[in-house]
């Protein structure tokens, strides 16, 4: 696991975007895993800028969204399919038909989850998975206590997560109680994971992720076992890290050829 501490969320977005552009330069038909929430937005802003101003080409890429609410009407502005379309798909050169999301309205959710796993596998697996981090350490919607070997499935949200996400709805009562999310095992299959976290509210979760024990109570800590994870955090999110100075030293001394 590599930990990179940057000045602010915008710089984090630019650095994460460099990982995406480097991948696309090597593998134009790469498979991306897309997260929602506030953390990846600066990344999507930078990819949109590069598409418009620098000709970044995602036309051969494929993308799979990380999760979706169960039961939200199609086109609901807070659905993650809508968020991915609004913040990513409509702003870059990717073919919308190649951007996939879990189906939170499927009549048979269990079968739909299995089909989503099959679709990821049939696409060749995720080359680069973008993640945010919940204040309780969750990744995707894999809440504390989730199986660290889980696959795409239905999850019940904690009340903390519902409160955290209420800002995207008119009221807390509108936030669904259930979601479909890629599982921890699904995320761990990605060849490269880039996790973004910003703000003091994420500091303890970042500490647990990077320096705590591997435990289902901080699900993101399982990434300590991933062979290629890059954690990009701003100064506020890094404020509880015991080895912050070492992470800065290691990154500052990193040879350019290594990349992210």
For 12-27, the pLDDT digits (tens) are 999 999 999 999 999 9
- Closest to 34 in 3D by CA, of 112, 114, 96: 96
| Residue 191: pLDDT band with limits 50, 70, 90 | very high
Q: With left for phi above 0 and alpha for psi between -120 and 50, is residue 259 left, alpha or beta? A: left
**What percentage of residues in the chain have a pLDDT greater than 70?**
100
pLDDT for the residue numbered 243: 98
Cα angle 180, 160, 199; round to 5: 100
Q: What pLDDT digit, counting tens, does each position of 158-182 carry?
A: 999 999 999 999 999 999 999 999 9
Question: Count of residues for the chain?
Answer: 260
User: Contact at 8 Å (CB) between 223 and 139?
Assistant: yes
192 given a catalytic annotation = no
pLDDT for the residue numbered 220: 98
pLDDT > 90? residue 256: no
Mean pLDDT over 140-161 rounds to 96
Q: Which of 100, 138, 207, 226 is catalytic?
A: 138
Structure tokens at 179: 């979601």
Q: Which residue has the tokens 């040879």?
A: 255
- From the CB of residue 7, how many other CB atoms can be counted at a distance below 10 Å? 9
Q: What pLDDT digit, counting tens, does each position of 101-120 carry?
A: 999 999 999 999 999 999 99
pLDDT for the residue numbered 259: 83
136 given a catalytic annotation = yes
pLDDT > 90? residue 208: yes
Q: To the nearest whole number, what is the mean pLDDT of the chain?
A: 96
Q: Which of 67, 68, 81, 87 is catalytic?
A: 67
103 given a catalytic annotation = no
Distance CA 95, CA 43 (A): 19
Q: Which of 136, 164, 189, 234 is catalytic?
A: 136
Distance CA 112, CA 45 (A): 31
pLDDT for the residue numbered 69: 97
8 given a catalytic annotation = no
pLDDT for the residue numbered 258: 84
| Residue 150: pLDDT band with limits 50, 70, 90 | very high
pLDDT for the residue numbered 74: 85
DSSP string over the chain = -EEEEESSHHHHHHHHHHHHHHHHHH-TT-EEEE--SSTTHHHHHHHHHHHHHS----TT-EEEESEEESSPPTT-TTSHHHHHHHHTGGGSS--GGGEE---TT-SSHHHHHHHHHHHHHHTT--SEEEE---TTS-BTTB-TT--TT--SEEEEPPHHHHHHHGGGSSSGGGS-SEEEE--HHHHHTSSEEEEEE-SGGGHHHHHHHHHS--BTTBGGGGGGG-SSEEEEEETTTTTT-TTHHHHHHHHHT--GGG--
Cα angle 179, 102, 30; round to 5: 130
Q: What pLDDT digit, counting tens, does each position of 64-102 carry?
A: 999 999 999 988 999 999 999 999 999 999 999 999 999
Q: Which of 50, 68, 103, 143 is catalytic?
A: 143
């Amino acid at each position: 696991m590599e930990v990179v501490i940057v000045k602010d969320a915008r710089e984090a977005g630019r650095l994460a975007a460099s990982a995406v552009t480097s991948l696309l330069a090597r593998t134009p038909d790469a498979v991306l895993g897309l997260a929602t929430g506030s953390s990846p937005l600066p990344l999507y802003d930078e990819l949109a800028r590069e598409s418009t101003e620098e000709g970044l080409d995602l036309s051969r890429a494929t993308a799979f969204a990380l999760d979706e609410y169960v039961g939200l009407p199609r086109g609901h502005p807070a659905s993650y399919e809508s968020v991915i379309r609004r913040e990513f798909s409509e702003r870059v050169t990717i073919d919308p038909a190649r951007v996939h999301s879990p189906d939170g309205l499927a009549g048979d959710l269990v079968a739909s989850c299995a089909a989503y796993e099959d679709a990821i596998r049939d696409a060749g697996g995720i080359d680069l998975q973008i993640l945010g981090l919940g204040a309780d350490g969750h990744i995707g919607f894999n809440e504390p206590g989730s199986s660290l070997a889980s696959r795409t499935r239905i999850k019940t949200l904690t009340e903390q997560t519902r409160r955290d996400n209420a800002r995207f709805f008119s009221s807390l009562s509108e936030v669904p109680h259930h979601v479909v999310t890629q599982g921890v095992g699904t995320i761990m299959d990605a060849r490269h994971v880039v996790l973004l976290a910003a703000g003091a509210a994420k500091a303890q979760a970042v500490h647990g992720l990077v320096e705590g024990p591997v435990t289902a109570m901080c699900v993101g800590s399982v990434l300590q076992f991933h062979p290629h994870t890059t954690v990009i955090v701003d100064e506020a999110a890094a404020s509880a890290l015991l080895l912050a100075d070492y992470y800065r030293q290691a990154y500052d001394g990193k040879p350019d050829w290594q990349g992210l």
